Amino acid sequence: MSTIYLTVSGRIATKPERLTSKNGMGVRFRIASTERYFNRAAEEWNDAEPVYLTVSCWRQLAENVLLSLRVGDPVIVHGKLVNPSFERDGRVEHRLEINAGAIGPDLRWSTAAVTRTRAAAADAPPGTERPSGAAAPPPGESSRAAGGVLAGPDGDRRARVLAGEGAVSA
């Protein structure tokens, strides 16, 4: 059987749900992807019915989703199409799902300030850690700008989010 990879753009439709398994931490959420088309007869733009897909991801990607994305955010998801089965009311059912390898904001509809994880920063080429002339944050403060996901002197918000207190609030 062939593996199908796909890329879908849409908006996050449900709050990212934290998952745990013997293989590590994961996240599951749904996205809504809606096609827009121009109706020439009426000379207006219309929306088709949305397609809802469940997205799951694991490990570092899951942590970053919990820390970065919220319901309504425009995203692009790339991953493998899977068809897991489950039992409900004595019947075996199947559901199409995307096992994501990459998730990011759709920059057509939003902006983003990228902050590398420690692992990504360690693998980065020399000289790419900080823009030239940028000062390091003061001691006790986070490397993120105000309003970012990491906390400053008042504690580590990242640890609370990853401990299961949910996605970042607005």
User: Number of folded domains in the chain?
Assistant: 1
Is residue 85, in this structure, part of any structural domain at all? yes
User: Is residue 59 helix, strand or coil?
Assistant: helix
Give the model's pLDDT for residue 163: 56
Is residue 170, in this structure, part of any structural domain at all? no
Is residue 37, in this structure, part of any structural domain at all? yes
Q: Model confidence at 21, in pLDDT bands (50, 70, 90)?
A: confident
pLDDT digits (tens, 9 = 90+) for 89-143: 999 888 889 999 999 999 999 888 888 877 766 666 666 655 444 445 444 444 4
Range of the domain at 135: 5-165
CA distance 132 to 89: 60
Mean pLDDT of the chain: 79
Of the candidates 95, 103, 12, the residue with the CA atom closest to the CA atom of residue 62: 103
CA distance 146 to 41: 49
Is residue 131, in this structure, part of any structural domain at all? yes
- pTM for the full predicted model: 0.67
pLDDT digits (tens, 9 = 90+) for 29-83: 999 999 989 999 999 999 999 999 999 999 999 999 999 999 999 999 999 999 8
What CATH code is carried by the domain that includes residue 74?
2.40.50.140
